[in-house]
Structure 1
């Protein structure tokens, strides 16, 4: 097994993801929270790749909101004319990493391919998801995950790998 270095930049993204999760009252940190953390951006490569695809923090939040509304409609909640109350922040940041975030991290580590695991690799791991909230949100926003992956590769000076 190859040891992957998890540096301060990934740690910062995880901490920001915890803050995003806490702000919405979530009990775990999921891939959507990590995507919001990357879009809020301290990491230039990941931020530029997202911005090039038209996604800043607010655009990611709007896409996730559209996905939530779409999911509500899918289960029969059709009266969305009333404003939903804002989420109540959790009293503290969740310590648990949820399944979608764990899978995104695993895919990101594979994308790093023995190099230092960077936030841009984590972004690749997030957009490579085939099912879940993030891929549905990206589809509804008209965003091609492969385009984001190509942008990350360009930022890192590498060919996108599958």
Structure 2
């Protein structure tokens, strides 16, 4: 198994843990993003950290996005006693559509799989025009285009 295979497996495992903690049946792009932010010493993680997006900051942005989405449909989270998710430690979340698309976009950035790097996976997540990740980043005041440029720069400066 190549280094990128190990990397993808590891960030997907972290993402699966995030999905379980959320009570989600599937690993989605925002779970993968949390996995990328939590994983090792990569150009992708460094670019996120430089933008102030460590795992805790991303989790806070995702929580704000959830509350904002509820408010958009007339539900005030503060007015309700929403139960905490009931994670099932035995359930293995499947791969959701948003993470499949993110990986496809990342893989499409390179001609050969052996050229794939963690930054390409992150770019695949960040390139989504709609969905949880772009809404959460917008609510956090993050300029996605600027962040993607930083990820490109970090990838060019570091082979991994």
Task: Name the residue aligned to 1:68.
Answer: 66
Instruction: Return the TM-score normalized by structure 1.
Output: 0.86
Structure 1's unaligned 5+ residue stretches are: none
Task: Name the residue aligned to 1:146.
Answer: 145
Please give the root-mean-square deviation of Cα atoms over the aligned residues, in Å.
2.0
* Residue 96 in structure 1 maps to residue 94 in structure 2: yes
Kept after mapping to 2: 8 A contact 1:26/1:90: no
Matched residues in 1 for 2:76 and 2:12: separation? Answer: 35
| Deviation of 1:57 (Å) | 0.3
Cα deviations by residue, 1:109-151 (Å, 9 ceiling, x for unpaired):
1123435322211110001000011110011111111122111
Q: Which moved more, 1:130-139 or 1:70-79?
A: 70-79
Q: How many positions carry a matched residue from both structures?
A: 155
Matched residues in 2 for 1:22 and 1:79: separation? Answer: 21
Instruction: Return the TM-score normalized by structure 2.
Output: 0.87
Structure with a larger share of its residues in helix: 2
Matched residues in 1 for 2:14 and 2:91: separation? Answer: 10
Kept after mapping to 2: 8 A contact 1:38/1:47: yes
Kept after mapping to 2: 8 A contact 1:10/1:117: no
Task: Name the residue aligned to 2:129.
Answer: 130
* Residue 107 in structure 1 maps to residue 105 in structure 2: yes
Task: Name the residue aligned to 1:155.
Answer: 154
Q: Per the alignment, do residues 38 and 27 of structure 1 end up closer, same or farther by CA in structure 2, a change over 3 Å counting?
A: same
Q: Which moved more, 1:137-146 or 1:108-117?
A: 108-117
Kept after mapping to 2: 8 A contact 1:39/1:55: yes
